[in-house]
Structure 1
C-alpha cells in the first residue's frame, strides 16, 4: 500500500491526500503557494484545506498578516486514529443495542400469483424444527397445486421427516389417496366445528408464519420474527 492509499484508508479523499502530502513537503504555506505546488485551482484548495482542518490533519495560523497552513505531523495522525477508536468504543454498546433491536423487528414478505403461492407453501419444507402447525383446507391445496403435485409435496415432507399438526374443516375436505394416508405420514389432525370453514391457509414453523389469502385473491404473506 502506497502513502496516498494509506491516507485514503484514514478517510481522506484522493485530492485531500494529495494536498496533505504537498503541504507536508513544503511546510507552512499560503493558499496561493499550496495551489501552485499542488497544481490545483485556489477555490478547490480553499475547500480542501477546510476539510483537512476539520479532519485534524491540517492546521492554520497567522504569520504576520498572512494566513498560512501546515500539515499535521504524521506522528499526530496516530493519536487522531486512537481518538476515533476511543469515541467509537464509548458508543459501541449503544450501537450494538440498536443493531440487536433492529434484528428483532418482524420481516414481512409478500407473495402474489399462483406460482409465488406455491413457493411460499414450499418454504415449510425447510423447517429446521422438523415440525409445522397448519390450517389448510385440502380443497384449497388441491386447487392450488393439483393432486399430483400436492402428493409430491407430501412425499417430500415425509421424506424429510417433518411432522405436521393440522386443523381441518369437514366442509372443505377432500381426501388424498397417496402417502398422507399412511401411518408414516408424520401427521396429526383435528377437525374444526362444523360451522367453521375458513377459506384461507395458515402454516407456522420455526419463527415464521405463512398466511394464504382465499384462493380467488391469490396472494400470501410470510411473517418472520425472532420475538
Structure 2
C-alpha cells in the first residue's frame, strides 16, 4: 500500500506527508533533523508542523530554547478524515447558497458565443456526453462517419446509444456509405434515428458534426480533437445547411 497516497487522500499535501511519515519513523526530533530526513526545507518545515499540530497529528515539548516534536498515534487519522468531510460539506453548502447569484451572472452573458476545445478520445467522448443533456423528444442533427466511429469509439457507442434512446433524444443523420453505416441504418427505428447514406466517393467526410440545441460540435477522429461552439446564430445557420443537405441527400441517397 502506498502510505503517502493514502495520507494525501485524507487532505495532507506532499510536504505534510513527508514530515509526518518522517516523525513516525523517528519517534521524535528537533526541527533541523526533521527537515533533513524528510527532505523538506527547514523554513517550510515550521509551517508544515504547525498545520500537523492543528490537525492533531503532531505535538511538541519545549526543551530549553528548542522544541522536540512527536508524531501522534496514527489512529487519529480517521478523525482527520471526518473533519475533511465536514469541510467539504461546508463548502458544498456555500456553493449551493451562491449558485443562484452565480447563475444570474452567467445568464447575463448567455447570448455571447462560447467556444470550447477538446483533445483525445476522452475529450471526444465528453463532447458526445454533452449531447445527452438535451431534453426528451429533442432532435439532434448529424453529419457522421460510421466507419470512423466504429474505429475510434467502438466500445463507447453502445453505451452512448443506450443513453440517448433512454433519454428519448431523436437523431437525423447524413452518413457516408460504408458497411458500418449500413449496419447502423438497420437499427434506425429502435435507436430513434433516421439515416440517409450518400456516396463516399462523391461526398467524402470522415469527421463528425452534431447540431443540438444552440450548439455545434465538430470532432476530428483522425486528429483526436474537437470543438463545441455555443451560439444561437451559428447553430441556426448550421441547422439550415443540414436541412438543405438533408433534402439533397434524399435525391442522391444510396439504397440499402
- TM-score of the aligned structures, taking structure 1 as reference length: 0.49
The structure whose Rg is larger is 1
> Higher relative CO (CA 8 A, sep ≥ 6), structure 1 or 2?
1
